[in-house]
Structure 1
Amino acid sequence: MISFLRNERRYMLLAVGFFTRIPVPMFGDFHPDDLNRSAKYFPLVGIFVGLIGAGAFAFASKVLPQSIAVLISMAMTVYITGAFHEDGLADSADGLGGGWDTERILAIMQDSRLGTYGAIALFFALFTKYQLLTALPAYFVPFVLVIGHAFSRLCALLIMADLEYVRESSKAKPLATKIKMPGLLVAVLFGVAPIPLLYWNFSPALLSAKDWLWLSACCLTPVALVWVWWRNKIKHWLGGYTGDCLGAMQQMTELAFYLGLLVWAQQL
């Protein structure tokens, strides 16, 4: 049991070290397969990133307008992740926007230069996130950030469980083996664990059962639509996924979650 817990701690720290700039201990006996076993902690990393963004927003909003607090929060999450997922979104947009077959799309996605499609995708993603978070009630934003970062990373992980990796080699290759059911269950647990924070903001006496169902539908429907659309698009053009595709999925489902929540909040 002690050995199991020690190994799981190791896998969790590897996930944190791979997906963020948070310092973690160095492992002298690292093996690429360890990184694959750490994939189940992807949503947990999202919780950590969301908490950092939520903390930055909470502190900044004490002395600054909500719009500036949102910018500071976004800057913190981009910094702490090294723009890892934003880079995936940009590369995916460049590849699928400028490529005409699988080979060409993959070649463009591997190019480190930022193209027109990638720049446009990044601008709209960041601008949309800023607008959505600014439009939400301020007291809601810290909770929303934790949920959005965790749940969107679960959405990316579900692609790993569903599709095959299509590149022969890349920095994401050690992470690309299909996740097994026990690991997927752990990921689902961490991905949905923060969701009750959404309902915690309201007394059950204030909202009817119909209201709770409407809230759930508003939040989940846009995420599901984006997930299905992106999954089918990369399946059609690539036959599977790459690490960039996972980053794009995380970014788009996070935005979809905020959008759905804003639709619901407008009815309050």
Structure 2
Amino acid sequence: MSSLVLMIQFLTRYPIPLEIEFTAEHFVAGMRWMPLVGLLVGLPAALMLSLAEPLFGHGLATLLALVVLITVTGGLHLDGIGDTADGLFCYRPRERVLEIMRDSTLGTNGVVAVVMTILIKLVALNSLPLGGALAALLAAPVLGRTSTTWHAAFVGYAREQSGMGAFVSRVGLSQALPATLMSLVLVLMLLLAAGLGWQLVLLLTLLGHGATIIVAVGFGRYLHHRIGGITGDTIGATIELTEMITFLLFLFAWKHLI
């Protein structure tokens, strides 16, 4: 349980007044809890949407829900996709790319990546009916955090194995598989609670997890060839990419399958 608390403290802004030692053992064990952390991220956003919808209408309610989704994590993963975009789109040697990604200053590519990420999510959520938007807000963070386990399981850390690299490089299938099993159960329950039929629930669950694994592993393999591995920023970028794809998948399902 201490590993779960550690991951909540590390990845969210929930004020948990407990001191958990940040060790490799706790971190690696905590990766199995990533889908549950994702659910805790999505719950307040879904609550905001359900409360704001009757007061302000669908458009503003989806914007407020997205603001809550970002606030719960402190924009941690948006920072990751911004830094990743700055580094990968500079077309410089590996060492320079890693330097740019480590720089806290956000460049033009990073700003564009962050803005486009927010806009894609906003438009997708606004295009969904309330039930679909609520399901997406809950499922996307679950799948997004599950993707981190696969991103780390197949690709090593790009920098020297110290600090975060010493933790991430110990993550493997023994963490990714239990996390995926938990994610499958959570997403199935969320979609059934949304009132979807069994066939569509199974289809969305399988497609969502298939896309999650493909994005996480495929992006990781590209990074291995480009910069020698993954970083903390690319982990955040993987979460954002997975969430965007999940929103778009739900939009496609509500437009064409329901």
> What is the TM-score normalised by the length of structure 1?
0.86
The change in CA–CA distance for 1:238 and 1:194 in structure 2 (over 3 A counts) is same
Q: 1:251 aligns with which of 235, 240, 244?
A: 240
User: For residue 191 of structure 2, what is the aligned residue in structure 1?
Assistant: 198
Q: Is structure 2 residue 135 aligned with structure 1 residue 143?
A: yes
Residue aligned with 2:55, SS: coil
Alignment deviations for residues 34-63 of structure 1 (CA, whole Å, 9 cap, x no partner):
233322222211010011111111111121
Alignment deviations for residues 98-142 of structure 1 (CA, whole Å, 9 cap, x no partner):
142211110000000000110000010000000000001112222
What is the aligned-residue RMSD (CA, Å)? 2.4
User: For residue 88 of structure 1, what is the aligned residue in structure 2?
Assistant: 80
The change in CA–CA distance for 1:192 and 1:215 in structure 2 (over 3 A counts) is closer
Q: State, as a whole percentage, how many aligned pairs show the same letter.
A: 28
Task: Tell me how many residue pairs correspond in the alignment.
Answer: 256
Instruction: After TM superposition, give the deviation of residue 219 of structure 1 in Å.
Output: 4.2
Instruction: After TM superposition, give the deviation of residue 77 of structure 1 in Å.
Output: 1.5
Instruction: After TM superposition, give the deviation of residue 214 of structure 1 in Å.
Output: 5.6
User: For residue 228 of structure 2, what is the aligned residue in structure 1?
Assistant: 239
What residue ranges of structure 2 are gaps of 5+ in the alignment?
Answer: none
Q: 1:35 aligns with which of 10, 15, 27?
A: 27
User: For residue 172 of structure 1, what is the aligned residue in structure 2?
Assistant: 164
Q: Residue 79 of structure 2 aligns to which amino acid in structure 1?
A: D
User: For residue 157 of structure 1, what is the aligned residue in structure 2?
Assistant: 149
User: For residue 254 of structure 2, what is the aligned residue in structure 1?
Assistant: 265
What residue ranges of structure 1 are gaps of 5+ in the alignment?
Answer: 1-8
User: For residue 189 of structure 1, what is the aligned residue in structure 2?
Assistant: 181
Q: Mean Cα displacement is larger for which, 119-128 or 135-144?
A: 135-144
For the 8 Å contact 1:218–1:263, the answer to whether it is kept is no
Asked which structure has the greater CA Rg, the reply is 1
2 CA distance for matches of 1:161 and 1:117?
Answer: 28
For the 8 Å contact 1:218–1:261, the answer to whether it is kept is no
